[in-house]
Amino acid sequence: MNKIFLIIEREFLNRVGKKSFLVATILIPLIFPAIITVLVYINKKSSEGADKKIVYYVDESKLFEPDTSKYRFKKFNGSIEAAKEAYKHTDDLGLLYIPNIDIRDPKGITLYSLRQPTLEDENSINNLISRRVKDLRMAKLHIKKSTLDSLNENVDMRTVNVTPDGTEKSSNSMVWYAVGTTFGILMYMFIFIYGNQIMQGIIEEKMSKVVEVIVSSVRPFQLMMGKILGLASVGLLQFLIWIILMTTLTALSLKFTGVTPGQAAMDPAASSKGMGLITEVVNLPWGYIIFCFLFYFLGGYLIYGALFAAVGSAVDSPAEASQFIFPVTLPMLISYLSLFTFILREPNSPVSVWLSIIPFTSPIAMMGRLGSDVPLWQLVLSMVLLIGGFIFTTWVAGRIYRVGILMSGTKVNFKVLAKWFLMKG
């Protein structure tokens, strides 16, 4: 037992001591906020700083009222042909031509442009004219603008889950959808990344031939478990740092926006549109989500980690491993695709439920069902099976591993793996 800890310690120090670990651990939680900040900043700068784009217009209907918040409109007096000729010598966005039209059937409005205008410009200018035409039509029908505005009311519907014991919980399926998506993707990514690292480590040991030296001191199974658990502890440390970093960052940003989670929850009326979403996100049962994520990550990682270890022990090079990776990770891929096709939308359909219970698919599938009040028996069954699945795959992998690490130069396929599995010590 003592020796497993030595191996865990060695694996842990090997990974954590690397610069790449430090970089990934500190940078990844900052990457998304940073990208968004930069994009927002650039966008703001460019729309603020730059001169407004110039649009010329020829208005034969005498109806256009330039709205100058986004563009500078310059009226051109004269025929459209003359205007086109003049526009050609400029470097400006476009030339808007409004012929003499009937506002009940506006046709022939054209935007001439030297370059293909962006979708945004096209839409903005189109909107300007449409709005103007609408206003004119209303005027014709003697409808006041204020009358129409009073008809437009934004209805903000809150969804409340009524649970059997009578408590009501505010819920937002959109937010849960986002949670399911995010954590499902993270789960898939991390199981893959960490599983792959186990495999790489084992192939490296096999290729550098240090493995026979090691197995003369420890049982092959101890070596395999030590590697798997060592990497798991690295993963957990990384998550822990991320959780701390993220909560700190969120708390800081909330402080700036002035939302206090507790108060907002008490007073749903205060939740105006934007605030409501933040409140909604902050008030998610994060403890439950993070517990489930960590549990399923650990379980899923251990299941697939063992399989990756078996693959790593069987092959002589990473290239050779690729033929096994696909079949081994197929259940994970299936649950990943199911997540987006139906689990998130129908979290309580029988297929979703079963995918979230079967150990090979449950880590990802369960992430998609987190928001659907998973019954306790399903959660417990799923977790117990996950642990059972881990014990089973580790047993299978261990039997393949102990033979595989000492074999080199064999052409390996699934038949050979099965033979190794059945082989006596």
Partner 1 sequence: MEALTATGITKRYAQHTALRNVNVTIPEKTIYGLLGPNGAGKTTLIRIINQIITPDEGQISIFGEPLTPEHIGVIGYLPEERGLYKKLKVGDQLIYLARLKGLSKTEAVTRIKYWLEKFEIKDWWNKKVEDLSKGMAQKVQFISTVMHEPRLIILDEPFSGFDPVNAQLITKEILELKEKGCTIIFSTHRMETVEDLCDHIALINKSEKILEGSKKEVKAKYRSHTFSVDHKGVFNANENYEIVSQKKVEDEFYHTTLKAKLDITTNQLLSNLIAVTEVHSFIEKMPTMSEIFISLVKGESHE
316 binds partner 1 (CB under 8 A): no
Eight-state DSSP code of residue 358: S
Least distance to partner 1, CB of residue 10, Å: 6
First to last CA, the chain: 20
Least distance to partner 1, CB of residue 206, Å: 9
Least distance to partner 1, CB of residue 253, Å: 39
Indicate the residue among 10 and 145 with the shorter CB distance to partner 1: 10
Least distance to partner 1, CB of residue 406, Å: 7
Token output for 124: 């903005």
Indicate the residue among 220 and 398 with the shorter CB distance to partner 1: 220
Compute CA distances 96 → 76, 114, 122, 133, 366, whole Å.
10, 12, 11, 15, 54
Indicate which single residue of 216, 257, 258, 415 sits in contact with partner 1 (rule: CB under 8 A). Answer: 216
Q: Are 144 and 252 in contact (CB under 8 A)?
A: no
Q: Which residue shows structure tokens 């790593």?
A: 312
Size of the site for partner 1 (CB under 8 A): 25
**Under rule CB under 8 A, which residues in 395-424 are in contact with partner 1?**
406, 408, 419, 423-424
Indicate the residue among 205 and 280 with the shorter CB distance to partner 1: 205
Give the range of 149-157, 201-209, 253-261, 354-362 binding partner 1 by CB under 8 A. 201-209
Indicate which single residue of 68, 152, 208, 257 sits in contact with partner 1 (rule: CB under 8 A). Answer: 208
Compute CA distances 225 → 11, 214, 406, whole Å.
11, 14, 17
317 binds partner 1 (CB under 8 A): no
Indicate the residue among 179 and 315 with the shorter CB distance to partner 1: 315
284: left (phi over 0), alpha (psi -120 to 50) or beta: beta
**Under rule CB under 8 A, which residues in 3-32 are in contact with partner 1?**
3, 6-7, 10, 14
Name, in order, each residue with C-beta under 8 angstroms of 173's C-beta and a sequence gap of 6 or more. Answer: 159, 371
Indicate which single residue of 103, 136, 186, 215 sits in contact with partner 1 (rule: CB under 8 A). Answer: 215
Q: Are 371 and 170 in contact (CB under 8 A)?
A: no
Indicate which single residue of 175, 218, 237, 385 sits in contact with partner 1 (rule: CB under 8 A). Answer: 218
Amino acid letter, residue 411: K
* Main-chain dihedrals φ then ψ at residue 400, nearest 5 degrees: -75, -40
* Main-chain dihedrals φ then ψ at residue 294, nearest 5 degrees: -65, -40
Least distance to partner 1, CB of residue 324, Å: 21
Least distance to partner 1, CB of residue 9, Å: 9
Indicate the residue among 104 and 209 with the shorter CB distance to partner 1: 209
Give the range of 70-78, 209-217, 309-317, 369-377 binding partner 1 by CB under 8 A. 209-217
Least distance to partner 1, CB of residue 33, Å: 33
86 binds partner 1 (CB under 8 A): no
217 binds partner 1 (CB under 8 A): yes
Instruction: Select from 363, 345, 344, 248 the least CA-distant residue to 300.
Output: 363
* DSSP assignment string, 279-313: HHHHTS-HHHHHHHHHHHHHHHHHHHHHHHHHHHH
Q: Which residues bind partner 1 (CB under 8 A)?
A: 3, 6-7, 10, 14, 204-205, 208-210, 212-220, 406, 408, 419, 423-425
